[in-house]
Chains A and B, each alone.
Chain A
Amino acid sequence: MSTGTVPKPIAGTSSFLDDRLGAGNFMRRNLRKVFPDHWSFLLGEIALYSFIVLLLTGTFLTFFFKPSMEHVIYEGSYAPLQGIGMSAAYASTLEISFDVRGGLLMRQMHHWAALLFVAGMMVHMLRVFFTGAYRKPRELNWLIGVGLLTLALLEGLTGYSLPDDLLSGAGLRITEGVAISLPLVGTWITFFLFGGEYPGEDVISRFYSLHILLIPGILLGLISAHMILMWVQKHTQMPGKGRTNKNVVGAPFYPAFMAKAGAYFMFTFGVIALLGTFAQINPIWLFGPYTPADISAGSQPDFYMGFLEGALRLMPSWEVNLFGQGGGTLPLSVLIPALVPMGIIMTGLAVYPFAERWITGDNREHHVVDRPRNNPHRTAIGISAMTFYGVLWLLGANDELSWVLHVSLNWTTYVGRVLVFVAPVIAYVVTYRICLGLQRKDAAIIGHGVESGVIKRLPHGEYIEVHVPPAQDIEAHMRGKEAVPTLPGAGNGSDGVPPKALRGPIGRLRAKMSAAYGGEKIPLDDGHGDGHGHDDHAAVGAGGDDKPAVH
């Protein structure tokens, strides 16, 4: 089969480059690099492409935005604010919205892209977590991811404050109120951040340089590192036919994956444009200019800060004075909600791969990911954490909930105070049970086959439904299951002296946790969890002869 000729211009350029860079060797290794296919593997790309859209639209915005808190009288084209005093930053944001062609579109796309950037990171992270794709050798990339998420929150916070409208100012005020509550350093931090007392005249330009230079620079570096590591370590794959920890099955980078990635970039860009066109976001002209004296009902942060807002709202009014009149005020009703949930979530994320490895003693490389049901404790912990986050997030909007659902604002808080502790526990138990149930279902399908819908009468008169073996690819997907490892010597089954590492109180705890966390709960091949022994249902019928081979 002829594959044709390379056009002269491309041939010439490529040789030029190869002579100087040795690109050929790199291309030889990588042009046909194989990428596995699964829709959930594209979720991280939402964040990646949103970031590119953010860079593009953000650059456009910087051409017109004036990061200055200088007091000006607005004389622009939005009538209801004409003659009103405001900061130059707010006035220039109004100008972008009403006096620059495409300015409103770019502003709205920038904001929607920011929301999708964080949302994309979150769903990507959840995918990686629930499938265990963070395991060795990918722990470092996971840590980079946690860093990226933290930076994205900061980037969002600084960007949200720039237009200097009444809503963003409320966010800034809360930021200041939280920062100043920190023990010992709080006043120092705020006076250095704001160049004096709040709000001062410096914070917009300082946030501006953080928002357009420092944080995006670090983000760009970390994203590159994230990509390079992914490239070098090769993508994980779902369990399935022919897929092992020693190979990667899928489509080649050139041309298929490249085209798919390009298409997905265009989709992301397109959906952001769609939202920017048809859904109004952050209508700053309606909020009015910032003054610390005013506030609107329903002042909320963007969604990714909602859980902090919710935590602040849930707290009872605790405050202690350590040294009487000498100082040492600890406003616990600010400190605890501002630091603890964020700390639990971010530290928990960062530590999880290492904690899991410590508990399971699993030091192998993993390239085939788990189905969430096959590591029920991990899945339950994840859902439990999501519930904790979700309750706080929901309570961050309790005034809107109360308003829309016509329930008492105070009761949303009381209920939230209970739910934030109870709901994660319930979520844990329920998820764990569901996972085991799903495992049982898998075992039943492997053991008995799937119901074919064909009813057959046996010679002695009994009617049975014919079970046929599951389709090969589905069976292979199920058989990708692997017992969660336990430490050697952990658990009840072991006898004799425990290994050295498992002695002592911490060692015994580790052994206990290992036994609880790991192990095979529902073995696939004798998975007759429903009680009756191995019968011949599966052996009867069309699939009887090629019953799944025992693996």
Chain B
Amino acid sequence: MTDNNHDIEQPGERVPKRVIGTPSHAATGTPLLGAEERTGPAEVPGVDLQDEATAKKGERIAAFCFLLTFLAGIAFIVSYVAFQVGDLDSAATSNLALGSSLTVALLALASGIVVWVRMVMPKYKLVQERHEMASDGETRAYVGETFLQGAAESGITKRPLLRRTLLAAAAPLGLAPLVLLKDLGPHEYADFPKKLRHTVWGEKTKEGKQRRLVVEGTGAPIRAADFNSPGGILSVVPEGYEHDLNELAKSTLILIKFRPEELKSGTNRNWAPDGIVAYSKICTHVGCPAALYEQTTHHILCPCHQSTFDAADGAKVVFGPAARPLPQLPIAVDGEGYLVATADFPVPPGPSFWERGDAEAEAREKGGQS
């Protein structure tokens, strides 16, 4: 190992002592920063004063910067008063005026200070000693002894009853805040995995009819005869729940119109009246709406993580991280020609969760989706 023992200015003693002045003892009444005239040492090693010409120049530049900050600060206040907001264009003007004056003020202030440091203040090369972080052996020994002594004096080591009851006393108090968090959850929390399995598609409407599919954004029910352009899609929500976000988070559908010959074996044709197929729009990966539909390839793509599903073949996964197909909803055409759900999804829609189990196998046993 080589040592860095180049000779440089090593001040005889640590600089702070010299610069602060020498209040040798804190006599009462001696002010900390006394108002009397003080004289510092003529020259401190490691402090190279700037020559006057540079300092003078620096002073002028810094002063100019500070003046700029002053003006920009005023401009900021004026902008606040002068530019009202209340629509997009005026917000743009206000943002530009306020922001640029603030930017100029701050950057000019910063530059002024840098010029001040670099051109007016001395060039420093002060050296301070470091000391090992560790305390010396004597101190350690003292602390160790004192610690033991104090423990002994307190009786905590000698009196187990005291010690154990104190620990026992602390335990429930420590748990109390955790208990308080319980009501963060739902009150009927015992059955929440069940909630994830069911959507409103499985329930009849108040009138006891099967629930209609309605267009997201307009709320209009969908006549199968109108949804007749092959390659058409729609984002669909349950009738009566158009604005219920909790329900939308699991019940939203993507409705696709196929030519009958395009459908493959993965899709349940009994649930595809006139080649209209409804899949859950909620990705089985982490729940983004999988909504990008390519009518040429029949691929549904989720924009979040690019899981790709083949809509013509039961929305099976053809690419990406999703592990399960998008569940197909059993739909039919009601007496008035509108699309309705005949039952709930055969498997829980949306992302996987621990209690989900092999819902697909379960559904197969029930004779549902293939």
Q: Which residues of A contact B (CB under 8 A)?
A: 1-8, 10-12, 14-15, 17-18, 23-24, 27-29, 31-34, 71, 77-79, 85, 97-105, 108, 137, 170, 173-174, 176-178, 180-188, 191-193, 195-200, 202, 206, 233-234, 239-252, 255-256, 259-260, 262-267, 269-271, 273-274, 276-278, 290-299, 309, 312-319, 321, 323-331, 333-334, 337, 365, 367-368, 398-399, 409-410, 413, 472, 476, 479-483, 524, 551
Contacts and interface: CB of A to CB of B under 8 A. Distances in A.
Contacts of A330: 354
B68 interface: no
A66 to B, nearest CB: 17
Contacts of B231: none
A316 B243 CA distance: 34
Contacts of A104: 85, 91, 94-95
Ordered nearest first, which 7 A-B pairs have the shortest CB separation? Answer: A177-B286, A277-B99, A270-B106, A319-B323, A266-B110, A263-B113, A292-B249
A331 B358 CA distance: 12
Contacts of A255: 121
B39 A3 contact: yes
Interface stretch (B163-171, B179-187, B269-277): B179-187
Contacts of B100: 277-278
Contacts of A398: 306
Contact of B130 (A24, A97, A245, A270): A245
Contacts of A18: 32
B117 A241 contact: no
A528 B32 CA distance: 60
Given A5-B35, A78-B88, A181-B353, 9 more contacts: A1-B40, A177-B351, A292-B245, A292-B282, A292-B287, A295-B289, A325-B359, A329-B357, A333-B322
Greatest chain A CB density within 10 A among B235, B282, B351, B362 is at B351
B160 interface: no
B80 to A, nearest CB: 6
Contacts of B33: 6, 10-11, 14-15
Contacts of B235: 293-294
A246 B129 contact: yes
A328 to B, nearest CB: 6
A99 B292 CA distance: 35
Contact of B40 (A3, A32, A256, A309): A3
Interface string B18-40: 01100100100001111111111
A406 B211 CA distance: 44
Contact of A11 (B35, B129, B189, B248): B35
A292 B37 CA distance: 73
B218 interface: no
A333 B249 contact: no
B148 interface: no
29 contacts: A11-B32, A11-B33, A11-B34, A31-B20, A34-B126, A34-B127, A101-B80, A101-B83, A173-B249, A177-B286, A178-B286, A181-B286, A184-B354, A192-B181, A198-B249, A198-B287, A245-B130, A247-B128, A260-B114, A263-B111, A266-B107, A277-B103, A294-B216, A313-B321, A329-B352, A365-B133, A410-B319, A413-B320, A476-B6
Interface in B81-120: 83-88, 91, 94-96, 98-100, 102-103, 106-107, 109-111, 113-114, 116-117
Contacts of B361: 324-325
Nearest to A274: B103
Contacts of A327: 354-357
B232 interface: no
Given A98-B87, A292-B252, A4 B38 contact: yes
Nearest to A413: B306
Contact of A256 (B121, B195, B288): B121
Contacts of B16: 28-29, 31-33
Interface in B212-264: 216, 235, 237, 243, 245-246, 248-250, 252
B357 A105 contact: no
B195 to A, nearest CB: 6
A413 B320 CA distance: 9
A186 B193 CA distance: 10
Contacts of B19: 31-32, 252
A365 B132 CA distance: 7
Contacts of B158: none
A23 B195 CA distance: 63
Contacts of A260: 113-114, 117
B107 A267 contact: yes
Given A196-B246, A233-B133, A295-B289, A329 B305 contact: no
A516 B355 CA distance: 48
Contacts of B184: 192-193, 195, 202, 206
Greatest chain B CB density within 10 A among A71, A173, A409 is at A173
A548 B85 CA distance: 69
Contacts of B351: 176-177, 180-181, 331, 334
A248 B32 contact: no
A380 B115 CA distance: 39
Contacts of A276: 99
B6 A241 contact: yes
Greatest chain B CB density within 10 A among A31, A177, A312 is at A177
B196 interface: yes
B147 interface: no
A98 B91 contact: yes
A329 B355 contact: yes
A381 B181 CA distance: 42
B335 interface: no
Given A11-B34, A104-B95, A137-B133, A197 B107 contact: no
A295 B288 contact: yes
Contacts of A185: 354
A177 B4 CA distance: 57
Contacts of A329: 352-358
A435 B106 CA distance: 40
Contact of A331 (B2, B126, B352): B352
Contacts of A99: 85-86
Contacts of B110: 263-267, 269-270
Contact of A251 (B96, B126, B133, B216): B126
Contacts of B80: 101-102
